[in-house]
């Protein structure tokens, strides 16, 4: 919602470039001489390319689609993550995580209530975004296991910022109308949504499987809806609560193999 409001005061690519320039500046403060730093900076550049293309597609899509539809279509990346993971990481998703994912999709539909309007060009851009986000998640897992986190973080944030700003100069009229909602949106997305969350992803995501990562991401609309209710008093409604419940059930199903007692006494496999 913050991004949607900010687009009233800034063209999408310029907003994206400024957002990631803030995040890249923060990550630069953390750079030190570290093992594998140079290799990490080089390897992080492709991550930045993927991230910039994904966010550009999402941000451009928000010009013509609604935040709810954008949230649902982007959330479809949870289906794609295990399959990218199977191909790139050679992680075959188990039966229970796949069943959990199948439950999550209708839950997300009910929770976000994207409506039944006709398909618009913004929806197509957002679908491309979902494919790219899923690939980025898996590549982040692969590289995060081998290279320095800070180097990867700075490289991908910097590449994303530069590409977005250059694209804005070429494709847009890069004119800002400074407003309170624009400043707040840049602060929220630049510091929290780009710098903090990407750092945490790089640090923690390589510790879990692709299927489990997808299920964790599937809870994003649920927590967003709950936060919206706490902060601005927005109510979920009956469909929203049912959707949130289905997502939680999907999470429980995905962990069924862990929760069921193992009579052999051995640890369950992923």
Rounded CA gap, 161 and 120, in Å? 27
* Confidence band of 267 (pLDDT split at 50, 70, 90): very low
Residue 269: pLDDT over 50: no
Q: What is the pLDDT of residue 266?
A: 44
Percentage of the chain beyond pLDDT 90 is: 11
Residue 52: pLDDT over 70: yes
* Confidence band of 159 (pLDDT split at 50, 70, 90): very high
Residue 23: pLDDT over 50: yes
Q: What is the pLDDT of residue 236?
A: 59
Q: What is the pLDDT of residue 1?
A: 56
- In order of 55, 103, 105, 224, the CA distances from 207 in angstroms are 25, 24, 24, 24
Residue 268: pLDDT over 60: no
Rounded CA gap, 12 and 185, in Å? 12
Residue 76: pLDDT over 60: yes
Residue 90: pLDDT over 90: no
Q: What is the pLDDT of residue 227?
A: 60
Residue 30: pLDDT over 90: no
Average pLDDT over residues 60-74: 77
Average pLDDT over residues 59-80: 77
Average pLDDT over residues 24-28: 92
Average pLDDT over residues 113-130: 78
Average pLDDT over residues 22-41: 85
- In order of 83, 90, 108, 217, 255, the CA distances from 94 in angstroms are 11, 12, 21, 17, 10
Read off the pLDDT of residues 200-257 as tens digits, 9 standing for 90 and up. 878 877 777 766 777 677 666 666 666 656 655 656 577 767 877 777 777 677 666 5
């Amino acid at each position: 919602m913050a991004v949607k409001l900010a687009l009233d005061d800034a063209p999408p690519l310029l907003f994206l470039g400024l957002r990631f320039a803030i995040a890249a500046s923060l990550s630069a403060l953390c750079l030190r001489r570290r093992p594998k730093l140079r290799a990490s900076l080089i390897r992080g550049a492709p991550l930045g390319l993927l991230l910039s293309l994904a966010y550009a597609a999402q941000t451009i899509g928000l010009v013509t689609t609604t935040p709810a539809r954008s949230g649902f279509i982007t959330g479809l990346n949870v289906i794609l993550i295990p399959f990218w993971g199977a191909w790139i990481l050679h992680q075959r998703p188990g039966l229970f995580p796949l069943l959990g994912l199948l439950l999550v999709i209708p839950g997300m539909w009910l929770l976000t209530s994207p409506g039944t309007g006709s398909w618009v060009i913004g929806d197509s851009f957002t679908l491309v975004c979902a494919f790219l986000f899923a690939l980025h998640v898996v590549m982040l897992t692969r590289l995060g296991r081998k290279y320095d986190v800070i180097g990867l973080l700075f490289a991908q944030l910097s590449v994303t910022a530069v590409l977005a700003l250059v694209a804005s100069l070429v494709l847009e009229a890069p004119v800002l109308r400074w407003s309170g909602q624009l400043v707040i949106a840049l602060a929220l997305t630049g510091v929290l949504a780009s710098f903090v969350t990407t750092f945490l992803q790089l640090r923690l995501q390589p510790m879990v499987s692709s299927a489990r990562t997808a299920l964790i991401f599937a809870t994003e609309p649920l927590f967003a809806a709950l936060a919206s209710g706490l902060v601005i008093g927005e109510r979920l409604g009956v469909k929203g609560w049912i959707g949130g419940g289905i997502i939680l059930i999907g999470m429980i199903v995905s962990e069924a193999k862990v929760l069921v007692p193992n009579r052999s006494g051995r640890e369950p496999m992923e």
